[in-house]
Amino acid sequence: MTDSTKKAPELTELLADSPTNWGKWGPDDQVGSLNYLTNAEVLRGIKSVNSGDLFTLQRMIGDPKGDPVWPGREPATVEMVWDEASWDGEGAPQFPGGLHYADDTMHAFLQGSTQYDALGHVWYGGKIYNGYDARTTVGGLDKASVEPIAERGVAGRGVLIDMARYFGVDALPARKTFDHNDLMAAAAQQGVTIEKHDILVIRTNHLQLFFEQGDAFYDDFCEPGLQYSPELVQWFQDMEIPNLVTDLIGNEVTTDPDTGVSLTLHNALMRNLGVAFSEICDLEKLAAACAADGKWDFFYVAAPLKINRASGSPVNPVAIR
Ligand code: UVW
């Protein structure tokens, strides 16, 4: 448990000896561990398809039941600009042939729905991924924005590790933590192996509580998830995991119960190792299908939107079984 009287260490101290992949793919690299997803890895992913069943992993934007977002962000608002009512009154536009149409707009936090984080989304100590100066984020990300990830696309073998099922609950509660040993134990129980270069997809079903609890979900907000340790970071580094995908808003335990530090793995994995993060995925239908036939791997494909200098982008990843 965190001692609330004790000051959380600075990330510069906590991660002083943590490994980095800065420079590993050259001084201009902006996609980090996605470099592990070579053509051979894409073909390995395709080999995991045996039924052709498709699962889209995006949560609906503008869900009438609410959109789970990080505290301080607001759900997207979608507004109609043109619809049939636009032709009710005098002065409505007339198009040759009698054309009517619907148009709408969206105002959204780019991290306010199922999304990819840019590698430059978080940092400490004045440096973002690959050692770029954090000042390159001012007014828009000149380096390690989401654009290079969008340009590249992501495809490979995905493996779903169902931590809710492993712990025997419908949904992991706030603050519950786990590590790479738990992931491997859950994988063994599922009868699947997490292989080098796999896209690691973790189900917690924690966001079910957002829909059950309403505003109380945000009281003393602390999502469950992976907890930082040097061994866990080394495991990601040894396994050369290109992409961490979860159904959580923040992909990891929000506040480390031992150190009191926020989002340590965003920094140790994303900023330092260049692991791509996909968050707020809906893994329920995919998990049900995997549990039904005991096959937990699939071909995972995703491409965020090409948004100039953005720190993230909505995405609708697809898993093909
Ligand atoms: C933060 O890093 C604050 O948010 P996200 O969970 O969207 O990465």
**Whole-number average pLDDT of the chain:** 97
What's phi and psi for 199, nearest 5 deg?
A: -80, 115
223 touches ligand 1 (CB under 6 Å): no
Beta-bridge mates of residue 299: 157, 320
pLDDT at position 6: 78
**Mutation test of ligand 1: which of 11, 113, 117, 124 has the most ligand atoms closer than 8 Å to its C-beta?**
117
Q: Give the atom of ligand 1 at the shortest distance from the alpha carbon of 111.
A: 7
96-151 confidence digits (pLDDT tens): 999 999 999 999 999 999 999 999 999 999 999 999 999 999 999 999 999 999 99
- Residue owning tokens 């000896």: 17
What average pLDDT does this structure show over 235-247? 98
249 touches ligand 1 (CB under 6 Å): yes
How far away, in angstroms, is 150 Cα from ligand 1 center?
Answer: 18
Share of the chain above pLDDT 90, in %: 97
How far away, in angstroms, is 250 Cα from ligand 1 center?
Answer: 5
**Confidence band (pLDDT; 50, 70, 90) for 91?**
confident
270 touches ligand 1 (CB under 6 Å): no
Q: How would you classify the pairing of strands 154-162 and 199-203?
A: parallel
Is the pLDDT confidence value at 5 over 80?
Answer: no
For residue 135, the tally of other CB atoms under 10 A from its CB is: 11
pLDDT at position 153: 98
Query: Ligand 1 atom 7: the closest Cα is on which residue?
Result: 111
Beta-bridge mates of residue 42: none
242 touches ligand 1 (CB under 6 Å): no
**Mutation test of ligand 1: which of 11, 59, 109, 111 has the most ligand atoms closer than 8 Å to its C-beta?**
111
Helix and strand numbers (H, E) in the chain are 10, 13
Query: Ligand 1 atom 1: the closest Cα is on which residue?
Result: 250
Query: Ligand 1 atom 6: the closest Cα is on which residue?
Result: 250
What's phi and psi for 125, nearest 5 deg?
A: 60, 20
pLDDT at position 303: 98
253-312 confidence digits (pLDDT tens): 999 999 999 999 999 999 999 999 999 999 999 999 999 999 999 999 999 999 999 999
pLDDT at position 2: 53
What the block records as the tokens of 262 is 């926020």
* CATH H superfamily, domain 11-69+110-320: Putative cyclase (3.50.30.50)
Structural domain boundaries of the chain? 11-69+110-320, 77-106
111 touches ligand 1 (CB under 6 Å): yes
